[in-house]
Every structure is written in C-alpha cells, then in structure tokens.
Amino acid sequence: MVALLKWRSSLGRQGRSLLSSWDPSVPTCRWMGISCDSYERMVSLNLSYYNLDGTLQNLNFSSFPDLTTLVLVSTSLSGTIPPDIENLSKLNYLDLSSNNLSGNILSSIANIANLSHVDFMNNSLDGTLPKEYAAFRSLTFLQLSYNSISGSIPGSVGNLTSLTGLYLNHNELSGPIPPEVWVLTSLRDLYLSDNQLTGTIPPEVGKLTSLQRLVLNDNQLTGTIPSSIGNLSSLWYFLLLNNELVGSIPQEIGKLSSLTQLDLSSNRLSGSIPDTIGNLSNFEFLYLYKNNLSGAIPQEIGNMPRLMHLQLHQNNLTGAIPDSIRKLGSLDVLFLGGNRLSGPIPSPMGNLSKLTILDLSLNQLSGSLPVEMNNLTRVRILQLPNNHFVGNLPPGVCRGGALERIIGHSNFFTGPIPRSMKNCSTLSRVRLENNQLTGDISHAVGIYPNLVYLDLSYNELHGKLPAKFGLYNNLTLLRISNNNISGTLPLELGNMKKLKVLDLSRNHLSGGIERELANLQSLLGLSLDYNKLTGSIPPEVGTISTLQSFSLSENRLVGSIPKQLANCIDMRSLNLSGNELHDSIPVEIGKLQSLRSLDLSGNSLTGELPEQLGHLRNLETLNLSHNMFSGDIPSTFNNMESLTTVNVSYNQLEGPIPNSTAFRNASIDTVRGNKGLCGEIVGLKPCPLKNHANGRSEKGDKKLLVILLPTIGLLLLFIIIFGLLYGMNFRTKRNAENELVSTNGNLLSIWSYDGRLVYENIIEATEGFDSKYCIGCGAYGSVYKARLSSDQIVAVKKLHVSPHDIVGTTATEISRRKAFKSEVRALIEIRHRNIVKLYGFCSSSRHSFLVYEYLEAGSLEGLLTDHEIAAGFGWLERRNVARGVADALCYLHHDCFPPIIHRDISSKNILLDVDYEAHVSDFGTARFMKLDSSNWTSFAGTFGYAAPELAYTMAINEKCDVYSFGVVALELIMGRHPGDLISSIRNVYHMQLKEILDQRIPYPRDEIMVDLISFLDLAFSCLSYRPESRPSMKQVSQGLSTQRPNVLDYSLEIKLGELFNSRGLVS
C-alpha cells in the first residue's frame, strides 16, 4: 500500500486525481486497477488508458513479489524502467505499450524467467536486441514494434522455441534475417516490416507451417520468392511489398488456400501472373502493382468471388481485359492502369455493381465505352486517361450521385459533357482535356462546392463562361484553353479565392480585364493569351504577390505596362507580346529578381531601354523585338550572365551590342531592323574605333589626367591609412567572421558567414525548422520551404549537425562537415541556368544551412512517379530536361577549373521549375577533380545510378557522371528507373522499341520519333560498361543540341537489337 501511495504522489496532477480512490482506509484489493488472489495478495495492476503523466522510477517493484500481470497501456509514462523490475519474479504478462518509455528496456527484464507475454509497442526504445534469450524460454509473445531499436536480429532468437508471435516491425533493424528465425515452428505471426533488413528469403521459410501472418514489407530484401512458400497452408496474410525481389511469382502460390490478402507490389518481379492464383477462392485483397509483370491477365482471376481489391497497375501486362472479371461481384477497387492492355472494355464490367474505384488509365484500350457502365452507380473515382477511347462519355456517369473524380483526358471522346454531371455536386476533380468534346459550356457545368480541379482544355466547347464559376470556392485550377469560348470574363471569377492557376488562353474572349481578377490572391499562373481582349492591363494585378506566370500575349490591349507588376516578386515569366501597348518600360520591372522570361515584343513601346533591366540577373529569355525603342542598349546588359536568348530586332536602337554571352551568340535575325546597332555579330556592321569620348578630345583628356591623378593619389593614401587604423580597432572589438549586407530591401542580395538578419528571418519563417515546413530529407540535411519577410520563397537546406559542433571525432561528423564545405564551395563558384542557384549560407553554433532558389515543380523523380502529371510530360519536354542536365554537367566538367564532378546525379537531384526546365541540385558529394590526381575517395552517390566501376575502385572521374546521366536519360524515356536493363545493352536486344517507351504518353511520331531514337542512342552510349567508351558530357550536350535529319522511318515494332546494329551501337 505504501509503495503505491508513494508512486501516486510522484505522478502529474491529472494522474493523482484519477487515482484519488486509492484510500489508505480501504483495503488495497478494492482499489481501482488492482486485483488480488484468494489470499488477498496483489497479483495484477492494470491502469490502461489513464493519463498518469509520470514515470516508474518511484514505483518500488520489490513490494509486489506476487505480481503476475502488469498492464499500463497508453498511460503517458516516460523515462526508463528501473532495474528492480527484475524483482517481479512471478511476472507473466507485461504490457507497457503506447507510452514514451526510452532506453534499452529488454536488459531490465532479462532475468524474469516466467514472462510469456511482453509488449513494448509504440514507445521510444533504442539500443540493440540482446544476444541472450535464455531467460525467455517461456515467452510466447514478443511485441517491440514502432520503436527505434537498431542493429541486427541476433541468432539467439532461435532459442525462443515457444514463440507464437514476433513483432519487430517499424524499427531500425538491419542486416539479414538470421536462419534461426526459420526454425521457430510455433510462430503464427512474424512481423519484420519497415526496417532495413537485407538478404534473401530462404527456402526454409516453408518450415513455418503454423504461420498465419508473414509481414516482411518495406525492407531491402533481394532474390526470389521461394517455391516452398506453398507449404504455408495456414497463411492468410502475406505482405512483401516495397522490397527488391526479382524473378517470377511461384506457381505454388496457388496452394495457399487460406490466403485472403497478398501484397507483392513495388518490387521487380517479372514473368506472368500464375494461373494457379484462381485456386485462391478466399482471396479478398490482391496487390501486384509496380512490378515488371508481363503477359495477359489470366481468365482464372474470375474464380475469386470474395475479391474486393484488385490492383495490377504499373506493370507490362498485355492483351484484353478478361470477360471473367464479371464474376467478381464483391469487387470494390480495380486498378489496371499503366499497362499495355488493348481492346475494348468488356460489357460485363457493368455488372460490378459494388465498384467504387475504376482505373484503366495509361493503356492502349480502344472502342467506345459500353452502355453497361451506366450501371456503376457507386463509382467515386473513374480514371480512363491516355487510351484510345472514342464516342460519348456514359450519359449516366453520375447517376448514383457518388462520383468525385472523373479523369478521361487524352482520348478521342466526342459529343457533349454528360448531363448527369451537371447535378453531380460530389465532384472534386474533373480532367477531360485533349478530347473532342462539344457543346455549350454554360449548359454543361453545374454547381460543385467541392470542386478543386477543372481542366476542359483542348476540346471544341463553345458558349460563354458561366457566372456560376464564382461559386467554386475550393477550386485551385481552372483551365479551359484551346476551345471556342466567347463573351467576356465574368466578374464572378474573382470570387474563387483559392484559385492557383487560371488558363483561358486560345479562345475568343473579348472585352476588358476587370480589376476583380486581382481578388485571386493565391494565383500562381494567369494565362489569357490568344484572345480578343481589349482595354488596359489593370494595375491591381500587381497586388497578386504570389503570381509567377502572367501571359496576355496576342490580344488587343492598349495603354502602358503597369509599374505595379513589380510587386509580384515571385514572377518568373511575363509575356505581354502581340498587343498595342505603348509608352516606355517601367523601371520598376527591374525589381523582378526571380524573372526568367520576359517577352514584350510586338507592341508599340517607346523610349530608351531602362538600365534596370540589366539588374534581372536570373533572366534567361528576353524578347523586345518589333517595338519602337531608341537609344543605346544599356551597359548593365553586360552583366546578365544567365541570359541565353535575346531578340531586340526591329526597333530604333543604336550603338554597340552588349558584351554578354547571349548577344555574342546571337544571330543577325535577333538584332536586324534597328537604326544603328554595331558589333561582332556576323552580318552586323562593326563598331568604329573612336579617339573621342563624350565630346572630350584626347588632348583634353590628358589635361584632365594631369589634374586628377595627384588628387586621386592623395585620396588613396588617406583611405589606406584610415583603413589600417580602422581595421586594427575593428579586430579588437569583434571577430569579423562575416555579416549580412542588405541591398534594396532584398535580404539575399549579398551574403557571407553568420548573416544575423537573414539567419533570424529564416528561423522565424520556418518556426525554428518545424517539420511542417520540411519538403525533403537527405543524408546530410533536411530541406525546408521558407517565405521570408520580403515575401520571397526560398529552399533552406539545414545540415543535421552544425559544423561548429562537429569536432571531427567520427567519420560521420567529418563527412557532414566535408559535405557542407563542398556544397558551398561548388555552388558559390559556379553559375549556370541549369544549376540550382545558391543565394547564400549561414553558419552558427546552433544551425548551418544553405539557401537556394525554390523550384515549385519539385524533383524529376516526383514528377515521373505522379502518373497524372507524368501523363502530360511529353517527349519534347523530357528531351529538354535531359538537355538541361547535359548542359549543366558539360559546364561543370569542361568550363570550370578545376573540373567539378557531381557524383550524385539522379532523378531526385534534378529539380524542375514551372516550365519543366531542369536544375541540377545537391552538391553534398561534389568534388573538384585535380587534373593530376585519380581522386580516390569514399563512395558517394545513389545506388542504381552509380557507375559499375565504383564496385571495385573508388577512382572518381567525370565518366561516373556520364553513366549516371545515362540512367536518368533512360528513366526519362521509360518513365521509371530502368532497373536491370542498365547492366547491359544486350539485356534489351529482344525488346521492341515501343516496349521501352513510357506508356503513359502517346507514342512519338515523325521527326519526334527520329529525335527520340537519337536520344536513346546517347543514353545507351553513356551506359557503356567501360568508362573510356562513354562520351564526354560535351559530346552529349552537343548531341542533344543537334537537329537530326529525318532520314529513316523507324517502326515501333523494331527490335532494339536491330536498331543498335543499324546505328552502330553494338560493341
């Protein structure tokens, strides 16, 4: 009694209150949570789900010698378990799950011989598993999941011969599964998922004949699924997803007659789906997606009447959808997308009355949709994009009123949008673009309070935009471009406060742009180009501070360019071309520091070019042609290092062209039609040599020098003396490790170490690096999205440990410090349009971080794994991404001295902007290559992208980057990581060309096909096993920049082996 009361007094206030019934005047056996035996001895303490808010440090376990059961589930306990818990010698049942206990608790209970049930699930346990289990011979249940236990699983676990349940999932365990596990023949449950386990699944798994649940998913297991798995006749729950398993699904899987759920998804399994799967009549859930399975879907699939979920998407399945699918009367979810299925949708599919999700996207299905699909009244999600469907959409597609998402883009659907959709208030996402739909848009749409995404672009819709659009309060994207919409812009558009993208381009809209559009304060992109809009650009647009892309080209707009546009500080693309704008360019445009593309061509703009345009240091494309600009091109244009494309033709400009790369590489067509431009462009007159400047003669200049030179000399002497005195005084007051300089209100103009102001600004913007701002994690740091006080959005890469805190005592600490210094050094000294821009860095005793430009579209890896986005990522865009990466690596290898080896080129380290322009990132492993050195170093990079020679040598050279580029190039072509295909060209000789192409986008044609063949050539040449046989990145960059002649007509059915032979690729 005394021990319990003392423990109660140590608990938090709420805990003490909950145990207030523990009254010394009442027998202990009548206290809440306590049970006694017939001799009034306390044998059980169970206080589960009471918020005790305390520790076990003040609970004297030696006072309870007869305790057999201790259950304190979800009681908000923290800290460690005191060693004297071993005094509970009779303890049989111990459950302390769902608390915040820490430490290596198993060592505390190692001597309690009678334990049969141990549950520490969902705590903060760390350390390793003990190597001795002699004391646990009576143990039947061991639950340690959802902790932070590391190290390997010891072989001594085989001593737990009575164990029926072993749960080690969601920890940090590594290494292979020890063979001793497979002798625990009493096991019914084996959970080892969500660790970092390696190795294979041995045939001995077949000895666990009592096994009912086998859960090994989310590890790094390799090898094949052993055929002995068929011996597990009691198995009903089998998960192997997210590993690296290869080979085929064994036929013996059909012997698992008790199986109700099988998940083999996200591996590298190949071969066909075994027809023996039809023997599993108890199946309810079958997941085989994200593998390399081929062949047809077996007819036997219809022999599983209880099946509720069937997910076979993202494989290489071919043939038709089997008619036997009609027998799956319990089916609720059907995913067949991302394969190569062909033929029509079988009519019996309309019998699947319980279906709520149907995904047939990214196949080669054809024909019209069967009328029986009107019977699918429970469908919430219908996905049919990227097929060859024709005819009308089902008129009763929303007859049941359950439809939330209809995705049918990139087909050949005709006719009107179904009337049933008009009353479908449940809709949240509609994508019907790239079809041939007709009808009046105002009659086709209804009121959709939940609608988030609406894309009807590239159809043949007509009519006026309905005012009801203003009721779409949750809409984030509205795209109806490339139709025949007419009339004016309804004022109600300004009510869609969550809208991020508005694209009404290429229609027949007329009238003015109303100021109400400025109410769209979340807008990122606004496109109204190629319409018949009149009037002026409302200056209120400048209040949309989030705007990144603004296009009003090819309209009939008049007036001047509003200077208020300079307030859109995140603007990256501004296109006002093809209008009737006049007056001069406002000088405020020079404040748009994020601007990448500026097109003001085809207007009536006048005056001189403002020198502030030269301050647009990130500008890459500039078109000022076909206006009436006059005077010289400002000298500030010499500093536009990012500018690659420029056009100032057909103006009244004069004087020398700027000495920048864009102008030096320009053709005569981009400067012709001016008053008097001169320079070294072929076809342009050279600038005359002058002996006079600014009206002063050479003689006058000499007189002026006689006066100025002595004066300047005295002034310099005074400055030097003053500087020395000031410097001596400054060093005594402060160690000038570095400070921030703020320019024109832009916190990121000039940086050096310990920029106090920007440091505090970033800490505030990320709320002390709160996880809700985290957008990615790497080996050396986490990346956060931060909006600074200036409204500029940046990406902040925070190192896991500050360099000031690293004393270099461990290899990990030294590696992190080297990574930080390497990335800073590399990025400060390089500047290229396809390399992510470093704005600055901070280092302090608390944090060290790098600050980059923020790229909205994320990584190439993320884009390719998002099927909806990838479906709109065409061949030209993919080739352009490859060219951008090649140009960046060419610059690093050939234009930097010493050359820089990136060493970690992968799709996750290629970031994309809103225009899908590639930017190489993550220089955490970058190394400067000494020309006289073999650069021996430790391995760095990403498995699956690293060159094969790194398996036997650590000599790093630029050909390692070339190989990694080849993997990325093939990933762009295939739409996924090429896997085993990269090991040898001969692995793909038997494949047809179309088999290696991403099935989510239409096959290329004509010149795009020839261009793609050349791209494929380059990709495989980069993957040569011999480094010396790979091209240089300069050759790759030039190859991607060269326009290939259309000399051969390649068939999609051509074998890659024939293709390589015909083009001289065999080596």
In a domain, 979, yes or no: yes
Distance between CA atoms of residues 243 and 245, nearest Å: 6
- The band of 308, judged by pLDDT with boundaries at 50, 70 and 90, is very high
How many other C-beta atoms are found inside a 10 Å radius of the C-beta of residue 162? Answer: 14
Domain boundary among 811, 834, 853: 853
**Tokens representing residue 400 in the block:** 């049941």
Q: What is the pLDDT of residue 1024?
A: 82
Q: Do 865 and 1006 belong to one domain?
A: yes
- Rounded to whole angstroms, the Cα distance separating 63 from 42 reads 10
Domain membership flag for residue 1032: yes
In a domain, 466, yes or no: yes
Mean pLDDT of all residues in the chain?
A: 85
Domain count, the chain: 6
Q: Determine the pLDDT at residue 752.
A: 42
| Burial class, 30, CB count within 10 angstroms (exposed 0-12 / middle 13-18 / buried 19+) | exposed
Q: State the pLDDT confidence band at 385, using cuts at 50, 70 and 90.
A: very high
Q: Which residue has the higher pLDDT, 224 or 986?
A: 224
Higher per-residue pLDDT: 846 or 344? 344
Is residue 457 assigned to a domain? yes
Q: For strand 918-920 and strand 910-912, is the pairing parallel, antiparallel, or unpaired?
A: antiparallel
Residue 801 pLDDT: 53
Pick the closest to residue 924 from 902, 892, 899 (CA basis).
Answer: 902
Supply the CATH number for residue 502's domain: 3.80.10.10
Buried b (16+ CB within 10 A) or exposed e, 738-770: eebeeeeeebbeebebbbeebbebbbebbeebe
Listed residues 388, 418, 435: the one ending a domain: 435
Same domain, 475 and 527: yes
963, 1052: one domain: yes
C-alpha closest to that of 520 among 535, 538, 507, 508: 538
- 703 versus 612: which is more confidently predicted? 612
737 has a pLDDT exceeding 90: no
pLDDT value at 74 more than 60? yes
* Rounded percentage of the chain residues whose pLDDT exceeds 90: 56
Q: What is the DSSP string of 537-555?
A: --GGGGG-TT--EEE--SS
Q: Is residue 24 part of a domain?
A: no
What percent of the chain is modeled with pLDDT above 70?
A: 84
Q: What is the DSSP string of 712-774?
A: HHHHHHHHHHHHHHHHHHHHHH-------EEETTEEEEE--TT-HHHHHHHHHHTTTT-GGGE
Asked if residue 820 belongs to a domain, the reply is yes
Q: Quote the pLDDT of residue 699.
A: 41
950 φ, ψ to 5°? -70, -5
Q: Do 714 and 609 share a structural domain?
A: no
Question: What is the distance between the alpha carbons of residues 35 and 40, in angstroms, rounded to a whole number?
Answer: 9
Residue 800: in which H helix or E strand, if any?
Answer: none
Residue 466 — very low, low, confident or very high, per pLDDT cuts 50/70/90? very high
Query: Is pTM, for the whole model, over 0.75?
Result: no
Which pLDDT belongs to residue 718?
Answer: 63
**Together in a domain, 599 and 496:** no
* Cα Rg, the chain, nearest whole Å: 35
Q: Does residue 244 belong to any structural domain of this protein?
A: no
Q: Best-predicted range by mean pLDDT among 437-446, 479-488, 742-751?
A: 479-488
**Residue numbers of the domain that contains 370:** 344-435
The per-residue pLDDT for 369 is 95
User: How far apart are alpha carbons 195 and 189 in whole angstroms?
Assistant: 17
Is pLDDT of 49 > 70?
yes
Which pLDDT belongs to residue 794?
Answer: 85
User: Facing residues of 439 across strands?
Assistant: none
Average pLDDT value for residue range 380-403: 92
**In angstroms, rounded to a whole number, what is the distance separating the alpha carbons of residues 584 and 588?**
11
- Burial (CB count within 10 angstroms: exposed 0-12, middle 13-18, buried 19+), residue 186: middle
- Which of 904, 913, 922, 961 is labelled catalytic? 904
Q: Are residues 647 and 716 in the same domain?
A: no
| Region 572-583 average pLDDT | 95
Q: What average pLDDT does range 380-393 have in this prediction?
A: 94
Residue 426 inside a domain? The answer is yes
Q: What number is the average pLDDT over the span 848-876?
A: 84
**pLDDT of 564 above 80:** yes
**Bridge pairing between strands 781-787 and 793-799:** antiparallel
Is 468 known as a binding-site position? Answer: no
Q: Residue 780's pLDDT is what? A: 59
Q: Quick one: pLDDT at residue 832?
A: 82
Higher pLDDT, 827 or 1033: 1033
pLDDT at 437: 95
Whether residues 362 and 486 fall in one domain: no
The verdict on 621 and 492 lying in the same domain is no
DSSP 8-class letter at 417: P
Q: Is residue 374 scored above 70 in pLDDT?
A: yes
Q: Are 560 and 539 contacting, i.e. CB atoms less than 8 angstroms apart?
A: no
What confidence score (pLDDT) does residue 689 get? 74
With a cut of 70, say whether residue 405 has pLDDT above it.
yes
pLDDT of residue 771: 79
Q: Report how far residue 663's alpha carbon sits from residue 681's, in angstroms, rounded to the nearest whole number.
A: 8
- pLDDT band for position 1060 (cuts 50, 70, 90): low
Give the model's pLDDT for residue 118. 94
pLDDT in tens, 283-302: 999 999 999 999 999 999 99
Which of the pair, 17 or 840, is modelled with greater confidence? 17
What 3-state class would DSSP assign to 250? coil
Are 833 and 767 in the same domain? Answer: yes
- Final residue in a domain of this structure, among 794, 819, 853: 853
The residue that leads in pLDDT, 895 or 463, is: 463
904 belongs to the catalytic site: yes
Give, as one character, the DSSP assignment of residue 485: E
Q: In one letter, which amino acid is 509?
A: L
Q: Band the pLDDT of 707: cuts 50, 70, 90.
A: low
What pLDDT score does 548 carry?
A: 92
The pLDDT value recorded for residue 139 is: 93
Residue 612 pLDDT greater than 50, yes or no: yes
Residues 1054 and 962 in one domain: yes
Residues sharing a CB contact under 8 Å with residue 992, sequence separation 6 or more, in sequence order: 1052, 1053, 1054, 1055, 1056
Minimum mean pLDDT range among 183-197, 378-392, 1028-1042: 1028-1042
Q: What pLDDT sits at residue 742? A: 35
Closest of 360, 359, 319 to residue 342, by C-alpha: 319
User: Residue 953 corresponds to which tokens in the numbers above?
Assistant: 């040598």
pLDDT tier, 701 (very low <50, low <70, confident <90, very high otherwise): very low
The confidence score (pLDDT) of residue 817 equals: 58
Tell me: the pLDDT tens digits for 109-151? 878 888 999 999 999 998 888 877 656 788 999 999 999 999 9
Q: Is the pLDDT of residue 721 over 60?
A: no
| CATH number of 972's domain | 1.10.510.10
Q: Are residues 1040 and 894 in the same domain?
A: yes
pLDDT of 746 > 50? The answer is: no
The amino acid present at 931, given as its one-letter code, is L
Could you report the per-residue pLDDT of 250-273, keeping only the tens digit for each? 999 999 999 999 999 999 999 999
Instruction: Choose from 490-504, 920-934, 1024-1038 the range with maximum mean pLDDT.
Output: 490-504
How confident is residue 948, by pLDDT bands cut at 50, 70 and 90?
confident
Question: Based on the domain organization, do 915 and 1037 belong to the same domain?
Answer: yes
pLDDT, position 924: 52
More confident residue, 1026 or 985: 1026
